[in-house]
Amino acid sequence: MTDSLNISSIGQIAIAITDLEKATYFYQKILKLELLFDVPPNLAFFNCDGVRLMLTTLQGPEQDHKTSVIYYKITNIEEIFEELKSLQVDIERAPGMAAKMEDHELWIGFIRDPDGNLVGLMEEKPLPAT
């Protein structure tokens, strides 16, 4: 194992999708990510604070396209979930406090994208000043 491998951040995350138009709408209009560019009929690329998110239709056997949960940092998590509900987004789990840290509470909720991929939304809420 080499010591020269020094990963400092995520450069790109790929998520397998079945319908590029529906998925692009979801990530651009619902999650409000900046669309960088698309390459129809198979690819769309988004900016998420410097991390590139690539949506791709299946490019090989389906078992090669299992996805991990990606957690997006947000603010006002309860308000966001109310808005998502009004947009008829599939809510997997409403936001709730997952952990109380020394300086903040970690709140997490989950939704599903049009392909059923689990999407985590999280907020680090500062504790009130004492």
What would the pLDDT profile of 75-101 be if each residue is shown by its tens digit?
Answer: 899 999 999 999 999 999 999 999 888
* Domain boundaries defined on the chain: 10-59, 68-130
- Helix (H), strand (E) at residue 124: strand 118-126
Q: What is the amino acid identity at position 76? A: N
What would the pLDDT profile of 27-81 be if each residue is shown by its tens digit?
Answer: 999 999 999 999 888 999 999 998 999 998 876 666 555 667 888 988 899 999 9
What would the pLDDT profile of 118-130 be if each residue is shown by its tens digit?
Answer: 888 989 899 987 7
pTM to 2 decimals?
0.72
C-alpha–C-alpha distance, residues 44 and 61, integer Å:
20
C-alpha–C-alpha distance, residues 60 and 64, integer Å:
7
More confident residue, 57 or 9: 57
> Token pair 């939704």 is at which residue?
111
Distance of CA 17 to the CA centre of its chain: 13
Q: Beta-carbon neighbour count of residue 57 at 10 Å?
A: 14
Q: Which CATH superfamily is domain 68-130 in?
A: 2,3-Dihydroxybiphenyl 1,2-Dioxygenase, domain 1 (3.10.180.10)
